[in-house]
Amino acid sequence: MGKFVISKRTNGEFQFNLKADNGQVILTSEGYAAKSGCTNGIESVRKNAPEDGNYDRKTASNGKEYFTLKAGNGQVIGMSQMYESASGRDNGIESVKKNAPDASVEDES
């Protein structure tokens, strides 16, 4: 099972990473001013991750593939790492779908 890891950025903002079983980061949040916003973001990922329509599949200017996960209101709640191929990106989406709903939360902030 995956896990959400809450951490504090050097600028004082909170963020979370969703990690797969193997420890690889599969989704990273934006920065939040308060930890409560960060935990709300985690709940939003849990709720929205299973729906394929909440993912935007994108290609960066350097040709690498990535995705974003959106909430019901269209706001981006997480972004993936960069992948070498579209199939790698799609595997990352499947991993978020699988891991996010039941992931534990670890607070390292």
In order of their start, the domains of the chain are 3-107 (2.30.29.80)
- Average pLDDT on 36-60 reads 96
- Average pLDDT on 61-79 reads 95
Contact 67, 92 (CB under 8 A): yes
Predicted local confidence at residue 72, as pLDDT: 87
Residues 89-109 pLDDT 10s: 999 999 999 999 999 999 998
Rounded (10°) CA dihedral 29, 43, 4, 27: -40
- Average pLDDT on 25-52 reads 96
Burial of 33: CB neighbours in 10 Å, binned 0-12, 13-18, 19+: exposed
- Average pLDDT on 47-61 reads 96
pLDDT for residue 1 is more than 90: no
Predicted local confidence at residue 40, as pLDDT: 95
